[in-house]
Structure 1
Amino acid sequence: MMEIEKEHWDIVIKPRGSNFSLNIKEVWKYRDLVRMYIHRDIVTQYKQTILGPFWYVIQALFTTILYMFVFGGIAQISTDGLPQVLFYLSGIVCWNYFLECLNKGSGTFSSNASVFSKVYFPRLVVPISGAISGLLKFFIQFTLFFIAYLYYCFFTDAAITPNAYILLFPLLIFLLAGFGIGFGMIVSSMTTKYRDLAILFTFISSLWMYITPVIYPLSVMEQNYADYMWIIQLNPLTSIIEVMRYGWMGVGTFTWLSFTYSIVVTLFSMIFGIWIFNKVERSFIDVV
């Protein structure tokens, strides 16, 4: 009796077994698509522009000058003895990268609904590629910070004392990306069904920076606004930016307790974000 030859399939699409699954193996198979998304994000943003990625430098530079004029000059907010350029740039670089990852993650479903409805690929490709493409902007702006950092270290008498905590810098980048992607996926999953939450999120994100020590040091809040410190301390970005300044310049409020809190909150946001992202992914096309 002739045996029936088993069918062989190159790709098998089957439902995910767990909502907590990252499915890294499948994302790795689509690494070419990740590269395509990264290329698209970089090229389309500055296509038909004269200065191209140099706008990243202009953005950070003019924002720093504005902060120096408004917060450092008019409001006379202390920078803990650090040069204002370094103080504001260090906060701007971190905040911009977090916001970039957050925006990419929060727009995953709404911005790609037409693509998701036509072809299958791991949806996590979109927020992951957004975080990677955002590294270009981050490192360009960080280069601006580093040039100013070298100038103040070798050509001025500014009190800058880097220390061993500078080695935490790669971890800080991961935490910024992880928290941005995780929280962004939560927002993206919620706004597929409740569109007005997108308006609320835009409002919240515009105010978020003011409870993050970008334009002021944590020491100022401890001295003058101690009653509101709990709000700022609940923000996981607080210790990340403080560690950035403390490691590179030796000035800032650093405790392992607050830094561990930021790590825990970041991991929780990533886990919860992946869970709700995978859950909504199965049915969001019907809702959108």
Structure 2
Amino acid sequence: MSYTEEEIAKASWSQEIKPTSSLLDLNLKEVWRYRDLVLLLVKRDFVTYFKQTILGPVWFFVNPIFTTIIFTFVFGNIAKISTDDAPQAAFYLSGIILWNYFSTSLTATANVFTTNANIFGKVYFPRLIMPLAIVVSNLMQFSVQFLLFISVVLYYTFMGNIQPNLWILMTPVLIVLMVAFALGAGMILSSLTTKYKDVSMLLGLGVQLFMYATPVIYPMSAIPEKLKAIVALNPLSGIFECFKYAYLGVGDFNADMLIYSASFISVLLVMGAIFFNKAQRGFMDTI
């Protein structure tokens, strides 16, 4: 059965796929329509992560606990790095859970095109779904580890070793900023990994080195004055210092650092959207 051009022109389509008209057009309305897919992908990641494991979700606790023990032994007892008089276990655990979330989300988002090329080539859905599913999936892991951290904070608070303050109310804002930073930086890197495989190879090393430029194992107060301004340029510094100041009552934190972090991350997220939209148009030709 054939149709005339007039009949085709009058036909009403249930769905029409059009090219993105602007680099900044993320088509969030369509992303919202596919929100069930985000939940399915998150569930898939959770099931896959624990498939054929004996301990299951307990593994969420294993990494931060053992890393905290090692950091306490190496950086606390051997290197004698200051923790601003905060209990070493609480200090290192606070940095570890934040860093684990950021580094895992950044790495996975940066490789989203290469690791999901088969899916992208078979079925259509908004490509932004994948990075969003990654940060949400890792947020579940962070939530579990955060509960571990809260139990440690409550213990030391009861013992009188630390004094949390009202900056705790900023926790949702700090998490959103960290999510946005991982998402924005990851989307920029993902656009590069489609053309340059060296980026993927260098990413692991770069993330490890970036940790030492972030106050994870040391407080800002322990940095020499001539280097403090350089470390302060890291947008994560304000987030980590605010988090430690809120829950442990220690640190060299000021609100200007957090304002700078929010401003930098906002610009980075916009740039990430531009790079991601540009890359998704033709990544199948270069991947």
TM-score between both structures, scaled by the size of structure 1: 0.94
> Counterpart of 1:285?
284
Tell me which residue corresponds to 2:76: 72
The residue identity in structure 2 corresponding to 1:52 is: G
Does 1:119 pair with 2:123? yes
Distance 1:199 1:100 in 2: 15
Aligned to 2:193: 191
**Contact 1:78–1:217 (CA under 8 A) maintained in structure 2:** yes
Which residue in 2 is equivalent to 1:9? 13
SS across alignment from 1:283: helix
Contact 2:91–2:248 (8 Å) recurs in 1: no
Residue matched to 1:205 = 207
Aligned equivalent of 2:3: none
Is residue 52 of structure 1 aligned with residue 34 of structure 2?
no
Q: Deviations over 1:195-218 (max 9, x none)?
A: 112222221111111111110111
Q: For 1:149-193, what per-residue CA distance to the aligned partner results, in whole angstroms no more than 9, with x for missing partners?
A: 111111x131x2222211110001101111001101111101111
Q: Aligned AA for 1:213? A: P
The match for 1:171 among 164, 167, 173 is 173
Aligned equivalent of 2:160, options 139, 157, 161: 157
Backbone CA RMSD of aligned residues: 1.3
**Residue 147 of structure 2: aligned partner:** 143
1:180 to 179, 182, 190: 182
Indicate conservation of the 8 Å contact 1:102/1:183, yes or no. yes
Q: Is the 1:90–1:245 Cα contact (8 Å) retained in structure 2?
A: yes
Q: How many residues align?
A: 281
Q: For residues 285 and 207 of structure 2, what CA distance do their matches in structure 1 show?
A: 28
1:129 paired residue among 105, 127, 133: 133
- Is 1:42 aligned to residue 42 of structure 2? no
> What secondary structure, in the 3-state scheme, does the structure 2 residue paired with 1:99 have?
helix
Rounded Cα–Cα distance in structure 2 between residues aligned with 1:197 and 1:38: 26
Q: Distance in 1 between matches of 2:142 and 2:10?
A: 51
**Deviation digits for residues 115-173 of structure 1 (CA, Å, limit 9, x no counterpart):** 1111111000001011111111101111111111111111x131x22222111100011
Letter in 1 for 2:235: P
Aligned to 1:33: 37
Residue 220 of structure 2 is aligned to residue 218 of structure 1: yes
In structure 1, which of residues 78, 95, 98 is the aligned counterpart of residue 99 of structure 2? 95
- C-alpha displacement of 1:22: 2.1
Matching residue of 2:264? 265
Provide the residue aligned with 2:27 in structure 1.
23
4+ residue runs over 4 A deviation: none
Residues 164 and 157 (structure 1 numbering): CA distance in 2 closer, same or farther, change over 3 Å? closer
- Using the size of structure 2 for normalisation, the TM-score is 0.95
Identity %, equivalent residues: 47
Asked if the contact 1:20–1:275 (Cα under 8 Å) also holds between the matched residues in 2, the reply is yes
8 A Cα contact 1:127 1:181, kept in partner: yes
For 1:157, the aligned partner's letter is G
Give secondary structure in 2 for the equivalent of 1:282: helix
Contact 1:186 1:276 in 2 (8 A): yes
Q: Match of 2:278, as an amino acid?
A: K
Shift of 1:43: 0.9
For the Cα contact (< 8 Å) 1:105–1:182, is it kept in 2? no
